[in-house]
């Protein structure tokens, strides 16, 4: 997927998180993924966006012999 497609997918997931889990109207009902599933999907999309942008998490370790 391209970066713009991933960002669009991310927006869809965020919109789905703000919607109710299920809706019922008369004899019809719709159920969406749970919040946990949506957050897992969001994490996957976010990591893919970060990979495409070349963003890598960096950890800096500061060492000192001076007791700092």
Q: Which domain holds residue 21?
A: 3-52
pLDDT at residue number 14: 92
The count of structural domains within the chain is 1
pLDDT at residue number 64: 67
Residue 61 domain-assigned?
A: no
pLDDT at residue number 68: 54
Residue 68 domain-assigned?
A: no
Q: What is the pTM assigned to this prediction?
A: 0.66
Per-residue pLDDT of the chain (68 residues; tens, 9 = 90+): 899 999 999 999 999 888 888 889 999 998 888 889 999 999 999 999 988 888 556 667 777 677 65
Residue 18 domain-assigned?
A: yes
> Is residue 14 within 8 Å of residue 42, measured between CB atoms?
yes
């Amino acid at each position: 997927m391209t970066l713009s497609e991933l960002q669009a997918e991310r927006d869809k997931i965020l919109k789905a998180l703000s919607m109710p889990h299920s809706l019922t109207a008369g004899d019809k009902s719709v159920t969406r993924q749970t919040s946990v599933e949506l957050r897992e999907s969001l994490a996957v999309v976010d990591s893919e966006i970060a990979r495409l942008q070349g963003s890598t998490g960096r950890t800096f370790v500061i060492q000192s012999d001076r007791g700092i």
